Structure 1
Amino acid sequence: MRTLIFIVAFLVTGLTASAAETKIMIRAKARDAKFIGSSLGGAHIIVRNKINRQILAEGNTTGSTGNTDLIMKGAKTRGTLITDPQTAGFLASIDISEPTFVSIEILSPLNNKQAQASVSTELWLIPGKHILGDGIILEIPGFIIDILKPRTHQYIALNSIKGKLFQFQANIVMMCGCVIDKNGVWNSDEIEVKGILKKDGQYLKDVILSLVSTNLFEGSDLLNTPGNYELTVYAYHEKSGNTGVDKVNYVVYE
């Protein structure tokens, strides 16, 4: 009996010992911009076994958005890294005993639900064969837009605004949190920002929003009649194909 127990224990120990730690660096990069890291709350990473959907690793990217010159301005040739040791990423450590086909899903930006996108890829992991350096980089398209004025479901007295220009405001950043400014790396002059106004469910007009300070866009228009209003603000960059949207509803009453 003792001999049988010893043999079983030996076999179990042998199976466990055959598993090898396999490291994989995973990064989320904003399209036409930098990496998503701690300053934006990170991107959420989930690594799953493709066959049984078991979660093998999960966590958030941490670190900096990276070196602007290296990412956005430097010449890129094969084998040239675009990250440094401080660049945001999530280092997954997975114990596997045989080649395993995995899926990697990224949800980002984690803390901005209206702009959150999901991207994924699939690949084979080989026991003990690490994927480091730049690692696996998944691209997140879009802009993060937060309408600041009017506020969601704000009630506005008609007599307080009638005959006056009502101001609309939106804060817009890249998906990595990188700033948008006039003549900056991300040039506001190249980005179309517009508000679409609806009243009582019917299209009313478009309102152009222009940059007034870093990331802050403003526009104005007359609101002369009461009703239930909806404002949709979008940003569009033709060169990169980046788009973003935010919406609010508000009420003008007599």
Structure 2
Amino acid sequence: MKQLFILLLLVSGLGSYAKETKVIIRAKARDGKFVGSSLGGAYIIIRNNLNNQILAEGKTAGTTGNTQLIMQTPLSRGGSICDDQTAKFEANIDIAEPTAVSITVYAPLNNRQAQTKVSTELWLIPGKHILGDGIILEIPGFIIDILTPRTHQYIPLHTIAGKPFAVQANMVMMCGCVIQKGGIWNADKIEVKGILKKDGQYIREVELSLIATNLFEGNFPITTRGDYELTVYAYDPATGNTGIDKVNYVVFE
């Protein structure tokens, strides 16, 4: 009984030392702004490295941030690129001793074909908050959605034979920021192409050009029936950002 009493005292003492520790996590698109509420947020999971226990989880919420501050103002040491509205997830974690944790971000949460997993590790010290800009994890890539043709669309050959077959795709930064001609995210700097296959065999590459904000279009001839697969990709050589979307459709007689 005496040993049990001592053990209970030790456990009780350890628990009384536990302190709330606040940590702000943000997800920022590479060469872009923050992943916030307008895009459905980024999902954050904080785990104890020792036993893999989830200490906190949730979504970032808030705005994509101040464009001028993030993209156009030179950053000095100790300077901030966030304001009070910039998207974040704030975790409140009770720990009794320094704890090694992993932080994993899934972003963007609601665009699965573009979703990226990014992680980092650090020590949390009881009661020592990480606030301000917090921990910022960079999310590389583009979000691409093929609009035309539609997934598993059946297209009669006689309706398209001898005509240019149009392909349309919508593309934004991983923060949802717009891509346009001559803009901060300049469409002229990004290579956007389609790779076309029929019955599993490569046929051609298709150039896509900007026709409206975020909207790219290209066309090519289709002369035979078959099972087609179209992959639209984007590549920015300056930043290394890439992205793809795929669609399958059927041309029949």
TM-score by length of 1: 0.96
Specify the alignment match of 1:128 in structure 2: 127
Specify the alignment match of 1:59 in structure 2: 58
Specify the alignment match of 2:169 in structure 1: 170
Q: Percent identity?
A: 69
Instruction: Tell me the distance in 2 between the aligned counterparts of 1:4 and 1:222.
Output: 83
Specify the alignment match of 1:96 in structure 2: 95
Specify the alignment match of 2:215 in structure 1: 216
Instruction: Tell me the distance in 2 between the aligned counterparts of 1:92 and 1:112.
Output: 24
Deviation at 1:92, TM superposition (A): 0.7
Deviation at 1:224, TM superposition (A): 1.0
Alignment pair present for 1:113 and 2:112: yes
The code of the aligned residue for 1:98 comes to E
The code of the aligned residue for 1:64 comes to T
Instruction: Tell me the distance in 1 between the aligned counterparts of 2:124 and 2:7.
Output: 29
Deviation at 1:239, TM superposition (A): 0.5
Instruction: Tell me the distance in 2 between the aligned counterparts of 1:68 and 1:16.
Output: 44
- Structure 1 stretches of 4+ moved >2 Å: 3-16
The code of the aligned residue for 1:239 comes to A
Specify the alignment match of 1:242 in structure 2: 241
For each residue in 1:132-185, what CA deviation from the matched residue of structure 2 results, as whole angstroms up to 9, or x when unmatched?
001000000000000000001100000111111111000000000000011111
Deviation at 1:16, TM superposition (A): 2.2
Instruction: Tell me the distance in 1 between the aligned counterparts of 2:204 and 2:10.
Output: 74
Which structure 1 residue ranges, 5 or more long, are not aligned? none
The code of the aligned residue for 1:78 comes to R
Instruction: Tell me the distance in 2 between the aligned counterparts of 1:6 and 1:102.
Output: 32
Deviation at 1:14, TM superposition (A): 3.0
For each residue in 1:187-219, what CA deviation from the matched residue of structure 2 results, as whole angstroms up to 9, or x when unmatched?
000010000111111111111000111100000
SS in structure 2 at match of 1:132 = strand
Specify the alignment match of 2:144 in structure 1: 145
Instruction: Tell me the distance in 2 between the aligned counterparts of 1:200 and 1:4.
Output: 74
The code of the aligned residue for 1:47 comes to I
Specify the alignment match of 2:205 in structure 1: 206
The code of the aligned residue for 2:92 comes to S
Specify the alignment match of 1:24 in structure 2: 23
SS in structure 2 at match of 1:72 = helix
- Higher alpha-carbon deviation: 36-45 or 4-13: 4-13
Deviation at 1:15, TM superposition (A): 2.7
Deviation at 1:28, TM superposition (A): 0.3
Deviation at 1:6, TM superposition (A): 8.8
Specify the alignment match of 2:37 in structure 1: 38
SS in structure 2 at match of 1:178 = coil
Deviation at 1:12, TM superposition (A): 4.8
Deviation at 1:221, TM superposition (A): 1.1
Instruction: Tell me the distance in 2 between the aligned counterparts of 1:207 and 1:83.
Output: 40
The code of the aligned residue for 2:67 comes to T
Q: Alignment length, in residue pairs?
A: 253
The code of the aligned residue for 1:72 comes to M
SS in structure 2 at match of 1:121 = strand
The code of the aligned residue for 1:20 comes to K
The CA RMSD measured in Å over matched residues stands at 1.6
Deviation at 1:17, TM superposition (A): 1.8
Instruction: Tell me the distance in 1 between the aligned counterparts of 2:213 and 2:157.
Output: 31
The code of the aligned residue for 1:232 comes to T
Deviation at 1:11, TM superposition (A): 5.2
Q: Where do 1:72-91 residues align within 5 Å?
A: 72-91=71-90
The code of the aligned residue for 2:230 comes to L
